[in-house]
Amino acid sequence: MRGAAIILLATTLTAGAAIAAPSVRLEPLWSLEGFEDPESVAVSADGKTLFVANVAGEGDAVDGRGFISRVSRDGKLLQKEWVGGMDGPKGGVVAGDRLYVSDITRLVEIDIPTGRIVGRYPAPDAKFLNDVAVAPDGTVLVADSGGAKIFALKAGVMVDWAAEPLLRAINGLLPEPDRLVITTMAGKLLAMDWKSHAITVLADGIGQGDGVARLDNGHYLVSEWPGRLFEFAPGGAIDTLIDSRQAGTYINDFIRLGDVLLVPNWKPGRLNAYRIAPSRP
């Protein structure tokens, strides 16, 4: 774990204070139901297969019910229970032929060609592991929402990588070339420098932040648990793109693949694909 980060405060964005029209709109492409509390989606190295993490119960229940589903890129269910034997799988990321999935207090490594679990790595004193990402140097990182820290997998061992007060209730991780963009359920959108671990506050007041993706114009899509999706731009907030709270539809840890946004809905157990299109004039 590195020393204390330098904290820089950028212009604060305030959710709900729209100052411009959205730059994009989300056009539904397909929707697939039948999942059991899906929390995240990851994509294979060849871009053809999606891996959906199903919590299948309470997020912190050690019950052995969690599993991973396989879905085709065009929304066909290939295998509902592809890999089981987990408790509450949440964040997931692919690195080569391996899928790494957080599972409450440990990281699970799955060999994709065989569909077998080949490693389980406990994170010391972890409270509630959440999103997973791969740093530019290939290091697998895991957010601990309950411990205000980020773990890293090093030589088969989970070690502290960053621990700062601003990481309280950390959730989503988005690697960029020069920094790691982070959402927190304490309402913040952060950016952490890879080398110094200095933190910049990009936004505040986003509620229980979850998923995050960057658009080509430098704006960010950020979801708020349980059911809003915002577009943020430097200097202020831009309109809510989706508000599904009244319908009881949860928006979880989504990913962007080119012009497609893949959004799991913990409730009602669904995976949606949207085309990211320019906003109409």
Digitized pLDDT (tens) for each residue of the chain, 281 residues in all: 333 333 333 334 444 455 467 899 999 999 999 999 999 999 999 999 999 999 999 999 999 999 999 999 999 999 999 999 999 999 999 999 999 999 999 999 999 999 999 999 999 999 999 999 999 999 999 999 999 999 999 999 999 999 999 999 999 999 999 999 999 999 999 999 999 999 999 988 889 999 999 999 999 999 999 999 999 987 766 789 999 999 999 999 999 999 999 999 999 999 999 999 998 76
Predicted local distance difference test score (pLDDT) of residue 281: 63
Across 9-27, b (16+ Cβ under 10 Å) vs e yields eeeebebeeeeeebbbebe
CA distance 232 to 222: 7
- Here the contacts of 174-183 (C-beta below 8 Å, separation 24 or greater) are 174/133, 174/212, 174/213, 174/214, 175/133, 175/134, 175/135, 175/136, 175/141, 176/214, 177/136, 180/133, 180/135, 180/141, 181/212, 181/214, 181/220, 182/143, 182/212, 183/209, 183/210, 183/211, 183/212, 183/222
pTM of the model: 0.92
CA distance 163 to 168: 9
Residue range 210-242, pLDDT digits in tens: 999 999 999 999 999 999 999 998 776 678 999
Beta strand 199-204 with 7-9 is: parallel
Q: Tell me the DSSP string of 167-197.
A: GTTEEEEEE-SSEEEEEETTSEEEEEETTT-
CA distance 110 to 125: 23
- The domains of the chain, with CATH numbers, are 7-278 (2.120.10.30)
CA distance 9 to 202: 7
CA distance 114 to 262: 25
